[in-house]
Amino acid sequence: MTLTQQDIDQEIAAARAAYGKRIADGGPVEHQPRRDYPPYRSSALRHPKQPPVTIDVTQDPELVELHSPAFGERDVTEIDNDLTRQHHGDPIGERITVSGRLLDRDGRPVRGQLVEIWQANSAGRYAHRREQHDAPLDPNFTGVGRTLTDDGGRYRFTTVQPGPYPWRQHLNAWRPAHIHFSLFGSAFAQRLVTQMYFPGDPLLPYDPILQSVTDDAARQRLVATYDHALSVPEFSMGYHWDIVLDGPRATWIEEGR
């Protein structure tokens, strides 16, 4: 039997009600989603079911990590954070500026960290050989960028508004517009990955990936805020999104996926 969006919506509602009951019964706030979240069918064969393997790094540190950032300060060029300037022509779509701060649990800036992004183009298609969506490619948009946080923990990207796209988990399944973020710590093995969404997107309530973050406050922390001060006159709209690495206001990270 083919799953429909209505089936998924009912499962999302049931999971939210079950979480509400756990909270009412004195359970803890769940900032991170459960790995076996039923409406997110695609994660069933992807998330680990066994505990992490402990490696004795005193015997051979190279078994665990490569020293990072993967790209040092000299390797990040002045246009790597501007996805609209990486080709000879202009990409198609609404230009946007995305900026924010990388913070620790106490709100202190995390400096000099490599931040990478990747996203679909304005038609909702990734520039990837395994992409199956038949939306048009944009020869002037690759959809990847990188930058280093400054002394205030700030990052900044110029790009185009990504489009939504179908993902075939269930009938008429569409992912809301989003940008993937990758964050590196002091070592390669500390890499964290998350996603940023856009305010007012009508697809947000229907997406089981976003809705797997069942706690309302934690889920809202994945949605950027329109910031008129970040908008560049006659060029781009501005969005602000802070990333908190730990603590009660931590940003959801794709841990274990």
Q: How far apart are CA 98 and CA 149, in angstroms?
A: 13
178 is catalytic: yes
Write down the catalytic residue from 125, 180, 219, 221.
Answer: 180
Write down the catalytic residue from 31, 40, 101, 126.
Answer: 126
Tokens of 167: 């993902």
Write down the catalytic residue from 31, 146, 178, 221.
Answer: 178
Write down the catalytic residue from 175, 197, 206, 239.
Answer: 175
Write down the catalytic residue from 37, 40, 155, 165.
Answer: 165
128 is catalytic: no
88 is catalytic: no
126 is catalytic: yes
Q: Answer whether 219's CB lies under 8 Å from 29's CB.
A: no
Q: How far apart are CA 114 and CA 217, in angstroms?
A: 27
87 is catalytic: no
**Catalytic residue annotation:** 126, 165, 175, 178, 180
